[in-house]
Structure 1
Amino acid sequence: MNRRWELDLLRGLMLVLMYITHMPTRFSSMLGQPFGYVSAAEGFVMLSAFMAGMIYTSKAERDGIPAMRNAFLARALKIYACHAALLLLLFTIIAALGISRDEPALKNLIGFYLEQPLAGLTGGLLLIYNPPLLDILPLYIVLMLVSPIVLERGLKHGWRGILAVSIVLWAVSQFAVSEKMYDAFVTVTDLQVPYKETGAFETFAWQFLWILGLWMGALTATGQMKNRKPFSRALITACLAFAMPLLIWRYIAGQVPVEGESIINHLFDKWHLGPFRLLNFFALLILIMHFGEWLKAHVPRLPFLQTLGAASLPVFCMHLVAVLLALSVYGESTPQRAVWTDVMLLFGGLACLYVAALITLRFDAEARPKTRTAPG
């Protein structure tokens, strides 16, 4: 399966935006959520699901459903190995460095682990304890494990029921159902990991973006997306009318729509994918799909971003390593820190991401003729 450069470019862009947002510099707040009240995480999850839908649907049609299941499992195990390695790095070298320098930012990030090391390590390896920054890969692993069941069902029986269930789960997630279920689980098992330490991403909410991307990727692989009717002018106008004011307001009000506690902020909540946030995402998605061919013809290919996107998992892991090292040595961003230090952190880390991508792609290129494995 040939790579689609525009998807690699978009994933590379999402990776750079996540890196800039997470790296503790003065540039984080101004470049976080640059397109409105939608973050790079939404785009990255959707793109990852879309590519998984394309790749594994093609594999199912070519090699059969069992081969597709095995490919999903192998990918999930690879992601789990990366997550476990990052956890061990955080709990050993990064933790020792941050404690020796007495950096509050790093100590706060792993506060539960420092209080209960055994419960933290065990819970982390079981994907229950998820410190900040290390909570998206566990979500990714869970979604990858569920995907072969969903994809097989969709290919055999259609996607209408799957999408309906996914929407219901998203709606239920807006009412703290996961927390109540977790509390019940803790009562039965006497688990020592508090709910707030299980990660910021609400799985029942974020599965909706994944299922949507998986569905669209499967339709693309089977050629059904080619028959999609063009979006109406009224819909495009409505999307522009919704997205543009939010884009402007984001740079007037900042990354939180309204100061203080407000129902509006809950409607734009990132972790639960609040309704207005989801509408903002859909408006941007429809606009990108509508103007996609024009953008492909006029946007420069930007090899730097394509390279990052083509090696997304190693690049994502390297971005976490760079951010954790920065937090353990420099701590949170402060106005007193010299500008050149922030510039060094930002561009030094980007260079590391690019080197990680180049090394990964070189190894993949050398291994491919020997193993003759399909991409993905």
Structure 2
Amino acid sequence: MTTQTLRASRTFSDWIPASWAYPETGATRDLRLDYMRGFVIPLLFASHFEYFSALMFIGWERIGVVSTAEIFVMLSGIVVGMVYGKKVKQAGLAAAMPGLVSRSVDLYRISVIMILLIAVIRFIPWIDSTIITTYHSPYSGKTFPLYPGMEAGWATVISKALLLQIGPHQFQIVGMYVVMFILFTPLVFFMLSKHKVGLLLGVSWALYLINLGADPFYRPTNAQFEYAFPILSWQLVYVHGVVAGYYKHEIVQFMSQTDWGKRLVYACIALSLGFIWLTLNHPLDMFPDWAKLHVIPPDTFNYLYNEYFPKNKLGIGRLVNLVVLFVAIYALMTVCWKPLNRALGWFFIPLGQASLYVFFTHIFLLLLIANTPLPGYENFWINTGIHITILVGMWVMVKKEFLFRWIPH
């Protein structure tokens, strides 16, 4: 263990054995981020396989007023900032551009393929594709089609697919990430290479605040994903993630080796606990009373949630929760890496390192499960079994690299 690792581990908590700390080797890949991305996968399944099970007790905003979407976008931005930022620092922006372009093409290709595959599946008579070709709003009770009618010509379907204007709502965040990666990443690295960080973040915040105050919010791409993930709002998380990844070494040094940094870490831990307490007051009907707090009246909680924590436009409370929760978990994983990795690293890390593959394949697993009688039983234990089986199956597919040659991961 290096002196730097020992110092960092003692910074966060003097009572935790230094031998548990994450071994800082200077490698670009950070297994703590892979672990976190892997941990997001069960939460993703809880959101998309909407069968109430034991997974929901952590999956439905139970560890803070944040969802898998914000965490996925932020972690993706951080990884991009670390990986491509290293190339920009070493050889300049031009040297990093081929890799960025190649990744953009892969992401776009897999999104279009997904959309067209589902468009074809709709015509298979013995498969009910409703779960991935429509969206049912739990708030309005309305169901919205996500594809043109069956009578629409293939020219219409293909043109909309190429513009990412249709597709399963469970995959929409990938479409948003594709567009954001293509539109924002080169500009972000250009600004970073010119040391215009303040201007970059200022523009990012300006776009976010403009959309936060707009009613209705702006959808410049007119893509379907912007109803749930308006790009002018969500770019804030991605851009700041890339910047954080680009300056990861400096940020970690500040947080672990300065008095103000240490205070910020402890403040983030305290605020994270506060947000957990807050979200446990959520008056969700499906949760039993013993799983909820009743300190905040339902009307008050709903007002706070709608005012400061909306998901589509990323309310300011949701942003604060995202940042403090990430810092708290990253600090915990820094000082307790060895036991955490030994316990579940074997499961979470492979899933986290193949997160794009998981996003792609889980759509077809969702379709498969929906076409069995199992969801119709609406049984807590059957639903828990569904979630566990799917997670284990996904882990096996990743470990066996099933279709890795064809599906980006």
TM-score interval (norm. to shorter)? 0.7 to 0.9
CA distance in 2, matches of 1:178, 1:60: 38
- Partner SS state of residue 47, structure 2: helix
**Correspondence list, 1:110-129, <5 A:** 111-115=145-149, 117-118=152-153, 119-129=156-166
Which segment is superposed worse, 336-345 or 8-17? 336-345
Q: Percent identity?
A: 23
**Correspondence list, 1:360-371, <5 A:** 360=401
AA aligned to 1:3 is: R
TM superposition score normalised by structure 2: 0.74
CA distance in 1, matches of 2:163, 2:209: 27
Counterpart of 1:249 in structure 2 is 278
Query: Which sections of structure 2, spanning at least 5 residues, go unmatched?
Result: 1-26, 136-143, 286-295
Partners of 1:79 and 1:141 within 8 A in 2: yes
- 1:64/1:77 CA distance change after superposition, 3 Å: same
**Correspondence list, 1:37-116, <5 A:** 37-93=65-121, 95-96=122-123, 100=126, 105-106=131-132, 108-109=134-135, 111-115=145-149
Which digits, 9 at most, give the CA deviation of each residue in 1:231-271, with x for residues without a partner?
45654554445332331232332469955973641311111
AA aligned to 1:161 is: L
Partners of 2:131 and 2:367 within 8 A in 1: no
CA distance in 2, matches of 1:180, 1:246: 29
Which segment is superposed worse, 171-180 or 67-76? 171-180
Which segment is superposed worse, 8-17 or 336-345? 336-345
Query: Which sections of structure 1, spanning at least 5 residues, go unmatched?
Result: 186-192, 365-375
Say what the alpha-carbon RMSD is for the aligned residues. 3.3
Which segment is superposed worse, 337-346 or 17-26? 337-346
1:286 partnered with 2:327:
yes
Partners of 2:92 and 2:193 within 8 A in 1: no
Using CA pairs under 8 Å that are at least 6 residues apart, name the structure with larger relative contact order, 1 or 2: 1
Offset, 1:3: 2.9
Match of 2:191 among 150, 153, 170: 153
* Count of paired positions: 349
Which segment is superposed worse, 292-301 or 11-20? 292-301
AA aligned to 1:262 is: Y
**Correspondence list, 1:189-338, <5 A:** 198-220=226-248, 223-228=249-254, 229-231=258-260, 235-236=264-265, 238-254=267-283, 258=298, 262=303, 264-301=305-342, 302-329=345-372, 336-338=377-379
- Partner SS state of residue 174, structure 1: helix
Counterpart of 2:399 in structure 1 is 358
AA aligned to 2:87 is: K
CA distance in 2, matches of 1:324, 1:291: 37
AA aligned to 2:83 is: I
AA aligned to 1:326 is: I
CA distance in 2, matches of 1:89, 1:297: 42
Which digits, 9 at most, give the CA deviation of each residue in 1:181-201, with x for residues without a partner?
65xx9xxxxxxx8x8775411
CA distance in 2, matches of 1:115, 1:363: 33
AA aligned to 1:303 is: W
- 1:288/1:152 CA distance change after superposition, 3 Å: same
Offset, 1:284: 1.4
Partners of 2:164 and 2:224 within 8 A in 1: no
Counterpart of 1:132 in structure 2 is 169
Offset, 1:330: 5.3
